[in-house]
Structure formats: structure tokens, C-alpha cells
Structure 1
């Protein structure tokens, strides 16, 4: 690494050159800045710019058709008081809880900072590649900050595809199971530099004041040039104050990223908030080799940035940080607004962003449907779902009616299969084992991008 600084920029916001003027540079939201400093300083430095896009790349929309539906007139407790301790995937929730995206589109947000994968593929050393992969794994949850809306549950057989030539990838996902709900996805680099795939089946539970999403399923990243595969599982996500107060989100738990070729491992601890919010958003961890020798230390916040140091410099930095925290705590204790442990936003919000469900610019583009696009999409693509489309357009009554209709159509299809003693047949994925961990997984069978959609189920 030769002591050089390395910047992993994951700045996400609405384009400052937006011709409509709806979003200004001052109002951009930072949802994940990854800065890994390999020098022996404390890692504080200037945030780099996102790599510039090439001229002529297709522009994507920068706003939604209608602002977010306000939930102020809705009795949350009247619904949730019957759900304490239950798995929310088995409960029909009012549309007021939702954001206008399918969970399949939410999964696609993993690809927002795909350039970190491209960067990892270009790194010559395994330690450098692991740093970029760790940055990518953390950036995948950064977009969830202040995203308190629930994505629509995918219908069985629902799909979503996304090709971004400007970002160098294409992506396909399918809802392969309804009970339990399992979403499988597959992505590949357009320059044959990576494969990214996995299956996700989060367990959602309501605990009176919070909703917890426990991750299940393995995420796999293959860097083809280096013949390396990395696997990990996301941290637990929890939404607090669902009954009263300001909604806020924390991620907690341990994420282990394993390089199956070298035996290197990155261990990241997403800290629980703590009594006074001192640990809110914090991430700490390290990279170790196959002999468990620590090679690199990582710390920061999953909402803001990650920093990295070699182990010796990190110990010195932590001692200095503890002294600084002691002084800072004395000051905060004198502030009435902090004494009760209220959570304070790490980055000021733009009002326009709040009205767009706190979506990033990448997320805003996920459900856009250009004229004629419906003719080339699979008929199961969630861009064609009328309930999500209705909510995005601000027609909540239509969205609710369509949601009920689609759910009843799904139930009737399930009853029909039961009468005929027929099993559901997935189209683009099959049940199998992860080739690197041996755990149950859903694997892409190929063929989607050849665009033969004959035989796709009628789910809408």
C-alpha cells in the first residue's frame, strides 16, 4: 500500500446539476462515505468525488410523481397491538406503512455503490480487495438510514431487472417462495469482472415499540479476475418508535466477510445504540488473515463513513479518542436536549428528500417506467404492479384496492394449486447449496437476459 491514502467514496444524493432545481447541492444527503486511510495518521481527510459519468449516458428521473403520503391521520397502534411478538410477513398491513417499492427493488439498492466492487477487482493485493469489499458491504445498508417505510411484499413469481450500463452491471431478482418469503438475486458485471448473488429471507417481528428485521440468507461476491469469493450476512435492522415519537433506525450485530480463497476475514461489529445514543450508527472491526493475525482496523459510522488504520496506529488513536470523548461528554451533559438521550440526526435532512420517502437518487430511479418499456419487460416485473404504481402516483385509494386485489388473486392461485396438488415452479432460480459455504441457497439458472418470457405466470 506504500503508505498512500485511499478514498472509497459512497456519497449518495440528488444530482446538484438537476435542471428542474428541485434539489440543490446544499441539500444533498450523504448516506455512506467510505474512506479507508492506509497511512498511520488518524485517517481524517477530504472526501473524494464520485467517479464522473461518461457523456451520453441516459439520464434518470430525479423526483417521484407525487410526495410521500403522510401517516399522521392513521392509528398505528390499532393495527400493531395485535401483532406483538408475531412475524409481520404473515400479517396484512395497511398501505400507509409502505413505501412505493417492492422488496425486490430494495434488494437492488445493494448495487448503488457498485463501483466499490469494480475497485476491488482492480486491486492487486488481497488486503486492499477486502477493504473495498468491506466498504461495499457497509454501503449496502447505508441507504436504509431514515427509510422508515416498509417495501411491498413481493408476490410469488414477481421479478425485477435492472441494467445500468453507466454503472457496469445488470441485475435480476425473483420471489421464489411466499411462505417463508424468500427473494433470490443475481448480478453480473458488464465487463465480466464480478458475479454477485444470494437469497434473502428476513424475519420481521414487532416488539411493542420497535420492528426488528433479522437477516437470513447468504450474500456472495465473486471477483472473477482473482478467482476469489466473499460471503457474508447483513446485520439486524431495527425501526424504533413505531407507535409514538420520531421514527429512527439502527443496525446491530456482527458481520463476517470471508475470502474463501485466502482465508482472510473481515469482522465488523455494528454497535447497538446504547442508553444515551453514544454508540448510534457506529461500526468497528478488523481484517485478519487465516492465522487470525489482525492486518487492518476499521471504524466509523454506517450512515457517514468508514476509516481504516494499521493495528499499531489504531491503538494510539483509540487512546486519544477516549480522552476526547471524556471532554465531549462533559459538554453534552450540560445540554438539556441531549440529557434525556434523544437521538439527533447525524446529517441535516433536506425537506425535498423527506417528501420522497428519504430515497436516494439511485432509489428514485428504480421504479421509473418509460413509454414502451412495458413491452420489453417480463410481465412479472414489479414496475408493472398497479398497487405500487398507484402509491407512487399519490392515489392511495387505488393503491389500497389494487393491493387487496393482488393479495386475493395470490391466495386463490395458492388454493388452486392445492386442489390440483401442484407445486409452484420457479422460473429463473433453483434451490441448491451455496458453492462456498454449503448452506441452503437459491442459484440463478440463466436465460433471463435472452428475454424469452413465454410461460411467465399471470400475477397482476
Structure 2
């Protein structure tokens, strides 16, 4: 599972299997005993409605990777080539349906009681798969804001995300709203698709589980097409028909005319129904897209950055994999204390943090916005082999 390579920095990189449909089984390697009791004790002194962005989780609750890596994996770890299909479709409507299917594919299961690390300021993650190059940077720590740029020069695709997850505790569950927007640009078609993310809900009682819930809107202003997706989960007792289900529609923004109805489950299959003909087509098969995902490897050890996520958290991840919880806690605490020390030094010097790869802005009206400083993302030292 772990890839270790030569080189001063690359030798510290720890790359683990990506989240997939098999996440519930694979993550059992990291699961601490008595996880439910430990989680309830963790929140025993937290008031309902509290913002959890500053809550420091013990390594017992961590999977061995950063949230930065999880965002990146949702783009570069997929078996079928759904992204390039978006640009290859001949008609605007078919391209839009392909974008809807790709958007669904970015959701990955998480195991109850396990979470990735909160990225540190300036942390980066740079990975290539074929001609797709993906670069992420943590551009803010409080509040946490992650920027992503991905480019595929061959397929004329660019992706820009700016996301800020805000988790809050509500007594029986933790709800994480992912603020910000995702953009997917088909450059040779002059089409930009904007979309948001559903909420991640961790239910503690009555039945512990993790769900993606809420509404997602996908829009393409150039073609006048729009989709509304509703991600649903069980409100009380588990029911397979509701668990991880999706309902929605594709319509024209100008007339609100429904063209397709969407139905299915994001961890199984999703179908569209042509309302004019009644014909039903499968647009997404999770088993085909998210099974057998390959773990990235370090291809160019000398080009690995000291801010690379898999390096920055390498010692913590290695200790979690070995179930050495004391060493994992010590290494994680050292990282967190170093971050606080650097923040104090910047404050004394009255310096603002300047991200390396993105220009960042914020307004009450539009929230966070992240613009890449470079037109194309270069090829990465870490790769996912086809």
C-alpha cells in the first residue's frame, strides 16, 4: 500500500490507496478500537452549533492522508475516462450530461469515525494522470480554504476549485458545508460549467453512518443548460432504496423546460430518463468508475516539493499504518505547534500569507475566489499509472 522512493524528500512521502467503493473495508486498517465510544467522548464538551474548524482530532480518528489529497483523488483517481468524455461529446446537451455524470463521480465514500488531516497552510499536492495535471494548495488555514487547478492540454480542459469546508456539531450529527464553487472549462468549446458540493453529514445517533446530502446545482451559461441534483440519505433507520440516492432533473434555464429526469444511487448506478420519449439511459456506473483504483507513485524523486502533502504528513501517516498511536500523536502535535509558531511570527512581522500558486480573494457576496497564477499545471513528480 505504501510507496517509498529514494531522495531526501521523496523518501518521506507516504502514498496510500485512494478512497473508493471499497473504502469501508480498506479503512478498517486504520480504525481504532471502540470508535463510537471514543467519538462520543470527543464531542462530550462541544456545544450544539459549534464550529469545529479548530478542533484538533487525535490520530486515532485519522485516515493516513490529508483533505488536500482527498480533493485531488476525486479528480485524478478514477478508472473510466469520464473527464475527457465531457469534451469529446458532439452536442452541448450530451456534453452537459457527461459533466453531470463526472460531477457525481467526484463523491467518494468515507468510513464512520475516520477523517483526513486538516491541511496546513502552504501545503500542496501535485499529481499527474496521463495528460491531466492536478495541483492543489492550502491557501488559508483559518478558515480552511483549498484551491485546485487541473489542466489537460490535450483535451482542452481546465478545472478550478475554491473550497472551504465548515464542520458544525449538532448534537446527534456533524454537518460539513463545503462553501465555494467548482468550475470545469471545456476550452475549445468555450463552455464553463459551475457547480457546488453537497454537504457531508456524519450521524452519531441512532445509527452511525456518513452521508453526502443536499442540493447540487450545475450550470452552463453558454448553453443555457442547468441541472439540479438532490443527494438523499436515511433520516432514521437505514433503507437501501434511499441510502446514497440521487434525484434530479436537467432543464433549460430560459424556459425551465425539463429535458431529462435523473434517478439512482451515487454508489451504484445513475440513470436519466428522456421526458419526451421515456427512454432511460445509464449515465454513471460507480463500480466501473471507482473500483480497482491505483495508488499514485513517485516518478521523479528530485522534483518532490518540501510542501508536498504526502511528505508533510509522512511521519504521521507511517505511524498510523503501523498503529503506533503515541508516535503518530507526537508527530502530529509537532506539525500543529510549528504552524502556530509560524502564525505568531507572521503576526509580529505584520505579514499576510501569500499563496504560491493562486491569487485569493473574499467578499460577503461571492465568498472565496481562487485564481491560478499559471495558465497550465506542469507535469507532476507523482503520477497515477493507467
Answer whether TM exceeds 0.5 for this pair: yes
Return the alpha-carbon distance in structure 2 between the equivalents of residues 137 and 225 of structure 1. 20
1:442 equivalenced with 2:383 (yes/no): no
Give the drift of 1:110: 2.0
What SS does the corresponding residue of 2:53 show, helix, strand or coil? Answer: helix
1:399 equivalenced with 2:313 (yes/no): no
**Against the structure 1 CA distance between its residues 313 and 284, is the aligned structure 2 distance closer, same or farther, given a 3 Å change threshold?**
farther
Encode CA deviations 1:60-79: one digit per residue, 9 max, x unaligned: xxx89x93242327632222
| Residue correspondence of structure 1 range 22-421 to structure 2 within 5 A | 29=21, 67-72=29-34, 75-84=38-47, 85-111=49-75, 112-113=77-78, 115-141=81-107, 143-146=108-111, 148-165=113-130, 168-241=131-204, 247-278=208-239, 279-290=242-253, 291-312=255-276, 361-362=292-293, 365-366=295-296, 368=297, 373=301, 375-384=302-311, 385=313, 386-421=315-350
Give the drift of 1:361: 4.5
**Against the structure 1 CA distance between its residues 248 and 75, is the aligned structure 2 distance closer, same or farther, given a 3 Å change threshold?**
closer
Encode CA deviations 1:312-353: one digit per residue, 9 max, x unaligned: 455x99xxxxxxxxxxxxxxxxxxxxxxxxxxxxx99xxxxx
Return the alpha-carbon distance in structure 1 between the equivalents of residues 229 and 271 of structure 2. 12
Return the alpha-carbon distance in structure 1 between the equivalents of residues 343 and 248 of structure 2. 45
Q: Would you say how many aligned residue pairs link Structure 1 and Structure 2?
A: 343
Return the alpha-carbon distance in structure 1 between the equivalents of residues 375 and 346 of structure 2. 26
CA contact (8 A) 1:295 1:310 kept: yes
Return the alpha-carbon distance in structure 1 between the equivalents of residues 362 and 186 of structure 2. 19
Give the drift of 1:451: 9.0
Give the drift of 1:273: 2.1
Give the drift of 1:447: 7.9
Partner of 1:322: none
Return the alpha-carbon distance in structure 1 between the equivalents of residues 184 and 118 of structure 2. 25
Higher relative contact order (CA 8 A, sep 6+): 2
Return the alpha-carbon distance in structure 2 between the equivalents of residues 130 and 449 of structure 1. 25
Unpaired runs of at least 5, structure 2:
1-19, 281-285, 381-386
What SS does the corresponding residue of 1:201 show, helix, strand or coil? Answer: strand
Greater strand content: 2
